[in-house]
Structure 1
Amino acid sequence: MKLYRIPNHIGIIPDGNRRWAQNKKLPKESGYAYGLEPGIVLYRLCKELGVRELTFYGFTQDNTKRPTSQTKAFQKACVDAVKMLEKEDADLFVIGNYNSPMFPQELLPYCERKRIGKGKMKVNFLVNYGWQWDLNNALKALSYGKTNDILNLISSKDVSRVDLIIRWGGRRRLSGFLPVQSIYSDFYVIDDYWPDFKPEHLYEALEWYSKQDITLGG
């Protein structure tokens, strides 16, 4: 296998599920289920490559404005994805507004990091996530002049800095993905829709990343 500079932490934005379903003449909401197997394949590839941390974007608080059929479909897909991960080795952490009725109750046990199997790789799953929700405690403390330590007050404080973000579906935006941890992330876009994932997508992104000059502003 070709040698790449492997990022410590990769963020995944698995976009294009609805557009993929439409192209297949299927209801929009059916596309989410077809994104489950690609997620497990990607997880296994990253584990083999030695990636230390992987974050998947499940759904945002803004996504819950979509029609009920779609919200139920992506909520179920998130629960099913965690059930699939329960058969793997990972240190799993589900991050999102768990006080909201839009947060799947089945995922509450993972709102604190939990070791599954042998653990080994940290896997974060953003579910009913919102950047304002994430920063809320820190912003309140700052407004009262209580602290300047933002990093230890955000809800996602257990998530490390993201080295590389890969987005499927051709959109060139972060969509609120971990604003603090992604501040120095390299950003790679794949035009194919997420359900059409293939290993080459990951390898192409890693080859591109290996050529980047990582300075972190220095």
Structure 2
Amino acid sequence: MLEKLTKWKSAMTSEQKSKDIDDINVPKHIAIIMDGNGRWAKQKGLPRVAGHHEGMKVINKVVRKADELGVEILTLYAFSTENWKRPKTEVDYLLRLPERFLNKELPTLMEKNVKVRLMGSVDGLPDHTKKAVLKAVEDTEANTGLVLNFALNYGSRFELITAVKEIAKQVEEGVISATEVDESVLTSHLMTAELRDPDLLIRTSGELRLSNFMLWQLAYSEFWFTDVLWPDFNEQHLVEAIAVYQKRARRYGGV
């Protein structure tokens, strides 16, 4: 009975906070650095993979709430190019999570008209991870709702270097001249070429850095940091972040 009452109060609080949001000024693209899984597990005397398992459960709740609030794009930093440096057992577990999540949630994502997208390099990913992600991308390709963009095996410096190489090749081949290279040209060669830049970046766990995440795209995004560890992040925190975002004036370098 107490558990049901707690869940009811939580739902009511989330509903009330949602009413405090201006429906017109909801950030169209939210990017999230999902941090703190390992620390969450350590605090509870559990292995790090237990934190990653709990963190995976949060994704479903956040996707649902973002869709409900009218967010158009949700980018999640799932696995960075630097994460390969972690112990092999942890890396292996992390790269099983996309498969587990998508195998379970793909029917719901289809029902909700969610379009799954991948940002990162599939090179080097285990076949089971690659197969699951590419299947989800293919199956949801025609969907027109929320874009769920997974940054998997992604690093912004790698992305920028790759884009520069592509542009340099075009200059060498005479497709474009060096003087024609501008912001729009570089942007068109990034992994987010089809997406608008994030309006809001959320990072959990109290860390105040970007960790090689969308360095170009976040140039004028609003940042919201929280001490909450990712496995404890919920719909109310997402609403709170959006409410703070709506109180800010985005000047883009102007007055």
The TM-score, its normalising length taken from structure 1, stands at 0.90
SS of 1:204's partner is helix
Which runs of structure 2 are paired with 1:100-111 in the superposition (5 Å)?
100-101=124-125, 104-109=129-134
Q: Distance in 2 between matches of 1:196 and 1:108?
A: 25
| 1:132 paired residue number | 157
Identity of aligned residues (%): 29
Please give the per-residue CA displacement for 1:51-81, whole angstroms capped at 9, x wherever unaligned.
Answer: 1111011010101110011101111122223
SS of 2:118's partner is strand
Deviation at 1:98, TM superposition (A): 0.8
The residue type paired with residue 57 of structure 1 is: Y
| 1:57 paired residue number | 77
Number of equivalences: 218
Deviation at 1:102, TM superposition (A): 5.3
The residue type paired with residue 124 of structure 2 is: S
Equivalent residue in structure 2 for 1:76, among 96, 105, 118: 96
The TM-score, its normalising length taken from structure 2, stands at 0.78
Q: Distance in 1 between matches of 2:213 and 2:226?
A: 17
Which runs of structure 2 are paired with 1:65-214 in the superposition (5 Å)?
65-86=85-106, 87-88=108-109, 89=112, 90-101=114-125, 104-109=129-134, 115=140, 118-143=143-168, 146=171, 147=176, 148=181, 149-214=185-250
Please give the per-residue CA displacement for 1:126-176, whole angstroms capped at 9, x wherever unaligned.
Answer: 111111332233211454672511011123322321000111111011111
Which runs of structure 2 are paired with 1:25-64 in the superposition (5 Å)?
25-64=45-84
The residue type paired with residue 3 of structure 1 is: I
Structure number having the greater helix percentage: 2
- Cα gap change, 1:69/1:45 in structure 2, threshold over 3 Å: closer, same or farther? same
Please give the per-residue CA displacement for 1:83-112, whole angstroms capped at 9, x wherever unaligned.
Answer: 344122311111211122457222452596
In the alignment, is the contact (CA less than 8 A) between 1:9 and 1:162 conserved in 2?
A: yes
Q: Which runs of 5+ in 1 are unaligned?
A: none
SS of 1:43's partner is helix
Which is higher, the Rg of structure 1 or of structure 2? 2
